Amino acid sequence: MRIDPSLNRNFPKLAEWITIEIPKCRYDARIWPAFLKYSQLSTSAAASALSYNGFPPTIDISVQRSYGSYRPRFKRNRDKIFISRNLCREFEKQDPDYRVSKPYDLIMTATILHEMVHWGDFIFDYINQPDKDIYDSVKGKWLKGMDVGFQFENEAFYGIYTREYL
């Protein structure tokens, strides 16, 4: 993975956090198998995506309502995932001790990996996996037509975490 210079310049604490925390997901017994399954990447390609090594995907920032997005429609964006500037701003201003007491770290990890799953799914065969209904144990209800990123989040993090948890 790479960090876009704009993220590094505007949110240096977040950029450093990403380079330290996201590679640890390779060793998480919940996250790693779900990441391999939903991203459709090979083990080595998935390990490369989660390592801070200068290879795709690039983590960038953008103004958007959702926490993150993957926009493969334009060729220049095919190897980029985007994180909301607003979420980055909130994350950057938090004291690390306070951030741990709230689910900021969890939401940021889930968002980045969610978008990496979309990237891997698209890069694998240029076809998006079909949407499915999933049971969200956090909210205790069925969610209809959820994309592969949400399917991953539900399996890896046992639920889909949104602004209501901050």
Number of domains present in the structure of the chain:
1
Q: What is the mean pLDDT of each run of 10 residues along the chain (166 residues)?
A: 96 96 96 96 95 94 93 91 95 84 88 96 82 82 88 88 63
pLDDT of res. 163: 65
Q: Is residue 153 part of a domain?
A: no
Structural domain range at position 120: 2-127
Q: Is residue 104 part of a domain?
A: yes
Longest dimension (CA), the chain: 41
Q: Is residue 147 part of a domain?
A: no
Q: Is residue 160 part of a domain?
A: no
Q: Is residue 52 part of a domain?
A: yes
Q: Is residue 64 part of a domain?
A: yes
> Which helix H or strand E contains 83, and what residues bound it?
strand 80-84
Q: Is residue 133 part of a domain?
A: no
Q: Is 94 exposed, middle or buried (0-12, 13-18, 19+ CB in 10 A)?
A: middle
pLDDT of res. 53: 92
pLDDT of res. 135: 84
pLDDT of res. 80: 96
pLDDT of res. 104: 87
- Pairing type for strands 58-62 and 2-3 reads parallel
**What is the end-to-end Cα distance of the chain in Å, rounded?**
27
**Measuring CA to CA, how many Å separate 69 from each of 47, 101, 102, 125?**
21, 26, 23, 19
The three-class DSSP label of residue 42 is coil
The CA distance from 59 to 84, in Å, is 11
The CA distance from 35 to 22, in Å, is 12
Q: Is residue 14 part of a domain?
A: yes
Q: Which residue do the tokens 């909210």 mark? A: 139
The CA distance from 162 to 111, in Å, is 10
pLDDT of res. 51: 96
